A and B are shown apart, each in its own frame.
Chain A
Amino acid sequence: MAPASEAFKGRSGARTFAVWDPLVRLVHWCLALAILLNGAILDGDSPLHEIVGYMAFALVATRVVWGLIGTGPARFAAFPPNPAAALRHLRLMVCGKGPVHLSHNPLGALMAYNIWATVLVLVATGYLMGTLRFFGSKWLEEAHEMAFNWLLVSVALHICGVAFDSWRTRVALVPAMITGRKTVPGDRSVQ
């Protein structure tokens, strides 16, 4: 990583990096709110459910554009979907080694793409359910339901992954998504 994103070197050798820009953070928490609203609070038949669904689509679409033209760590180029790298990362994790990734780590990257794709599937199936052509279609309803179940599993895995990685690398990931800065212990290399 370019030293330009390095904010300062503390006395204990811990380094702080500005990683997540405000747009990344806003999209992340708005999407989490949208999933919470539509999954747990709003009734599936209410018009508000539809509006929140459209908003979720707009959020993911914004993130995709930002992934193409945004800041360094927010770009897809910083965390390409790479299953081989994810496996390598898994092996390093088991050995308790490996560098700290400033953007998503290869496993986290797969999860991010997975959640965005699942949200898009949910919006697509949800939208089609409301169209005249597919109104009352059973398989579409089932697909919507299945995508939602998959999203629940994904979100649970995402939260576990964040908790585990925060413990393993001693980089507090939740505050990083709030303040935008990652503080890396001095004995860890950074990638």
Chain B
Amino acid sequence: MTSLNFPKNANERRAFTLAAIILLQALCAFFFVGDVFVDMTEGGHLDDIHMALEALAALALICGVIYLMLELRQLLRRFSSMATGLRAARGEMTQLIDSFFDSWDLTPSERDVALLVLKGFDNEDIARLRGTAAGTVRAQTAKIYSKANVEGRSHLFSIFMEELFSDHLGEGGKMAKAGGNV
């Protein structure tokens, strides 16, 4: 979970920095525009080279502010759709795991253990988390591997990874074959 939180924070930092720059630039733009405005009322003319440059700078700053605002909006929209995609993928993954577990006829405690295996815990950790002996967990994992017809931990992972990589994920062909009830 922490590994997922980090990029989110980095994204938020990026958006915040951009917003701070927009605000700073908006303040500068305002002071430049105000300066040009005051100079004009005091009889300055745009054909004066100094005035013209100042007016140009003010205009450039305003354009910059608007452009950065559009960029910020785009950036925030991208972050939001990224989060949505990730959430959708998580939901699908949970369904997929459930349907495989159903098709392998895992008992409730085997499901727990299998889920912990998929989450990357080793047998000692699982024993500690579930408050059982390490031998029990070893027996349970062996049972899970035989029910799933895999040779071990990495082979178990590969079943799910394959689903992620296949480009016909939406068709649910594999899940149907596995007898899943999605």
* Residues of A near any B CB (own CB < 8 A): 3-5, 7-8, 18, 21-23, 25-27, 30, 54-55, 57-59, 61-62, 65-66, 69-71, 180
* Given A3-B84, A61-B30, A70-B73, A21 and B66 contact (CB-CB distance below 8 Å): no
Q: Which of B12, B27, B80, B81 contacts A55, CB < 8 Å? A: B27
Please tell me if the beta carbons of A26 and B19 are within 8 angstroms of each other in the complex: yes
Chain B interface, DSSP helix/strand/loop, else mixed: helix
When chains A and B are docked, how far (Å) is the Cα of A98 from the Cα of B72? 32
**Is B83 an interface residue, CB under 8 A from the partner?**
yes
- Cβ distance B110 to chain A, nearest Cβ, rounded Å: 24
A22 and B83 form a contact (CB under 8 A): no
A62 to B69, CA, bound (A): 10
B22 interfacial by beta-carbon distance below 8 Å:
yes
CB B41 to nearest CB in A, in angstroms, measures 9
Q: Is B31 an interface residue (CB 8 A)?
A: yes
Cα A23 to Cα B15 in complex, Å, equals 9
CB distance B23 to A62 under 8 Å? yes
Q: Is B16 interfacial (CB-CB < 8 Å)?
A: yes
Q: How many angstroms between the C-alpha atoms of A147 and B107 in the bound complex?
A: 72
Could you say which residues of chain A place their CB within 8 Å of the CB of B22?
23, 62
CB within 8 A of A7: which of B26, B29, B31, B83?
B83
Other-chain residue from B26, B29, B69, B80 in contact with A18 (beta carbon distance below 8 A): B80
Given contacts A4-B80, A4-B84, A54-B30, contact A69 B23 (CB under 8 A): no
**Smallest CB gap from A27: residue in B:** B23
Q: Give the docked Cα–Cα distance between A180 and B76 (Å).
A: 12
Q: Which residues of A contact B66 (CB under 8 A)?
A: 65, 69
26 A-B contact pairs sorted by A residue (CB < 8 Å): A4-B84, A21-B15, A21-B19, A22-B15, A22-B72, A23-B22, A26-B20, A26-B23, A55-B27, A57-B30, A58-B26, A58-B29, A59-B23, A61-B30, A62-B22, A62-B23, A62-B26, A62-B65, A65-B69, A69-B66, A69-B69, A69-B70, A69-B73, A70-B69, A70-B73, A71-B73
CA distance A25 to B20 in the complex (A): 10
Inter-chain contacts of A70 with B (CB < 8 A): 69, 73
Shortest CB–CB separation between residue A28 and chain B, in angstroms? 11
Residues of B108-151 at the interface with A, using a CB-CB cut-off of 8 Å, are: none
B174 at the interface (CB under 8 A from A): no
Interface members, chain B 9-34 (any A CB < 8 Å)? 12, 15-16, 18-20, 22-23, 26-27, 29-31, 34
Contact with A along B56-85 (1 / 0, CB 8 A): 000000000110011011001100110110
| Bound Cα distance from A70 to B76, whole angstroms | 10
Do A23 and B19 contact each other (CB < 8 Å), given the known contacts A54-B31, A61-B26?
Answer: yes
Most chain A Cβ neighbours within 10 Å, of B12, B34, B76: B76
For the complex of A and B, list the 9 residue pairs with the smallest distance between their C-beta atoms, beginning with the closest.
Answer: A22-B19, A58-B30, A23-B19, A22-B16, A62-B26, A58-B27, A22-B15, A4-B80, A4-B84
